[in-house]
Amino acid sequence: MAHLTAAIEVDARPSTPEAAPSAERRTLGLGACTALVLGNIVGVGIFLTPAEVARASSGALGYFGFWVLGALISIAGAMVTAELGTLFPRAGGDYLFLDKAYGRPVAAAWGTLSLLATFAGSVAALAVGGVETLEATSFGHVFSYGVLSLAGVAIDVGDLTALSLVMVSTWANVRSVSLVGRLQLLFTWIPIAIYCLVGLGCLIWAADVTIPSISATGSLAQTDVVEGSVAAAFSSVFFTYAGWNVLTYVGGDVKQPERTLPRGIVGGLFVTLVVYLLLNTAFYALIPLDVMAGERNTGVMLARAFVGDAGADAFALFMLLLIIAGLNVTVMAGSRVALAMGRHGYLWGGLAKIDSDSGTPTAALWIQGAWCGLLVLTGSFSLLVTWTGAVMILLSLFTVGSVFIFRRRGLKAPYRSPAYPWLPLFYIATGAGILGLGVVAEAGYLLFGVGAFVVLVLIHGLRLRRGPSEA
């Protein structure tokens, strides 16, 4: 293959976005794209992460402060990412942006780490979180039955269920992109509508309803909260909002990307913000912070308090639909990074092969599914979120920072993010601040991410120096 250089050439006509290879079929419209964003953001996290936020809060100002700041950071990141996506509307997302901005060693390091940690970790966390949600219902006893022991690891029904969720999502992505788009429309909008109704119902009832099972500690204004980490709370909020960049990974599949990408990204995020505001207001109105801090799943707890075990079971099943939606789109996005790296020769070339019938990277999907399955068998939701969160924030700073490089080169995207340069600077400053807090609270995870990134940059840089035959 041609020699790979650290300085990657951009399009010969800077004002024109790159064209996608003809093998990629543009089948995703605005409705499917918005559903992909929603499905990738809204899932089980909004019901599992409030406990972490409550542990670090001392009242309404603190609790909502985490969620509002997280929303502002996400809006800034989403608008910048929309600009990058319209500049390079191809498969690959962040990997492609970093390739063009910083060169192949940095891009390859990011891609390798994201495939092993952030994408795979997110898929595993969603699958495990879905099972943990079901375990909080009357179905819970079923998932604890042991099945077998493999290499010293005990595997129960819950592990097999989470593994099955990963494999089914992988299979759906192998079948076709349009199938995933149709599934997103079904598995995203119905639960979103139900979540909104639940949030509105809780707010209407909050003034008149007292629920003994969740109001044991008295006044909301006078709650004593279990001590928690501010860094862990921010990481949990970031994880819960994360996913607004998903369309950039499937840019080659998006119809009219110059219009659809920014509308899908920003529109999907704003719908998410409305849903999160409703739900968090309901949580805070009905649940004392000290009770929330010790709760496994706030949504299931509220459903059980209002309508009993049957209601909690039904609500958990609706949550499972959103989890499946999140799995579908995260599996899709991760495989496109592997596809892009295969095209550039940093991973096995077979990963770049597009199936002629389905139009999907089959090998990339199945190999990714196998690695995600291994993570499912070795982690819990909390562990997987902590592991992926630090790496996710770290890598996103490089992506958002690339907008400065492209603008200095004179590249003009069809969509340009507002308030430049303050919007990307705000994202980078707040993200770096969260990581700084993480050094104190969870230094091991942050150092793992930084160390792995540096090592991978050196490895891929050395590969480039060896010449075209080994690149």
What is the DSSP annotation of 371-398?
HHHHHHTT--HHHHHHHHHHHHHHHHHH
Q: Please report whether residue 139 resides in a domain.
A: yes
Instruction: Show the domain range for 199.
Output: 30-465
Which residues does 115 contact at the CB level (< 8 Å), separation at least 6? 334, 337, 338, 341, 368, 371
Which residues does 208 contact at the CB level (< 8 Å), separation at least 6? none
Quote the CA–CA distance of 279 and 284 in Å, as a whole number: 9
pLDDT at res. 399:
93
Q: Please report whether residue 47 resides in a domain.
A: yes
Quote the CA–CA distance of 197 and 210 in Å, as a whole number: 19
The answer to whether the Cα torsion of 118, 124, 127, 133 is positive or negative is negative
pLDDT at res. 8:
30
Cα torsion 194, 198, 199, 200 to 10°: value is 100
Quote the CA–CA distance of 342 and 72 in Å, as a whole number: 35
Give the pair of three-digit tokens for residue 294: 């010790």
Q: Please report whether residue 9 resides in a domain.
A: no
- DSSP, collapsed to helix, strand or coil, labels residue 257 as helix
CB 278 within 8 A of CB 262: no
What is the DSSP annotation of 445-468?
HHHHHHHHHHHHHHHHHHHHHT-T
Domain count, the chain: 1
Q: Please report whether residue 20 resides in a domain.
A: no
Q: Where are the alpha helices (DSSP H) in 176-256?
A: 177-206, 230-241
Residue with tokens 């700041």: 69
Instruction: For 347-403, write each residue's pLDDT tens digit.
Output: 788 888 887 777 788 899 999 999 998 888 877 776 777 667 777 888 889 999 999
pLDDT at res. 1:
36
- DSSP, collapsed to helix, strand or coil, labels residue 411 as coil
pLDDT at res. 47:
82
Residue 191 sits in a domain of what CATH number? 1.20.1740.10
CB 96 within 8 A of CB 17: no
Q: Residue 148: what are its φ and ψ, rounded to 5°? A: -160, 170
Q: Which residues of the chain are under the pLDDT cut of 50?
A: 1-23, 210-213, 215-227, 467-471
DSSP state of 356: T
| Beta strand segments in 217-291, E | none
Amino acid letter, residue 227: E
Report the residue count for the chain. 471
Give the pair of three-digit tokens for residue 289: 């912070």
Q: Please report whether residue 12 resides in a domain.
A: no
Q: Please report whether residue 223 resides in a domain.
A: yes
Give the pair of three-digit tokens for residue 328: 């579908």
Pick from 331, 340, 42: nearest CA to 175: 331
Give the pair of three-digit tokens for residue 165: 């969720």
Q: Euclidean distance between the first and final Cα of the chain, in Å?
A: 8
* Full-model pTM: 0.75
Cα separations in angstroms, 26 against 30, 83, 130, 262, 335: 12, 19, 31, 16, 17
Peptide bond before residue 421 is cis, with ω within 30 degrees of 0: yes
Which residues does 388 contact at the CB level (< 8 Å), separation at least 6? 117, 118, 121, 122, 125, 239
Cα separations in angstroms, 160 against 127, 156, 166, 322: 10, 7, 10, 19
Q: Please report whether residue 403 resides in a domain.
A: yes
Pick from 376, 374, 423, 379: nearest CA to 401: 423
Cα separations in angstroms, 262 against 72, 401, 415: 17, 18, 7
Quote the CA–CA distance of 139 and 460 in Å, as a whole number: 48
CB 402 within 8 A of CB 84: yes
Number of H helices, E strands in the chain: 17, 2
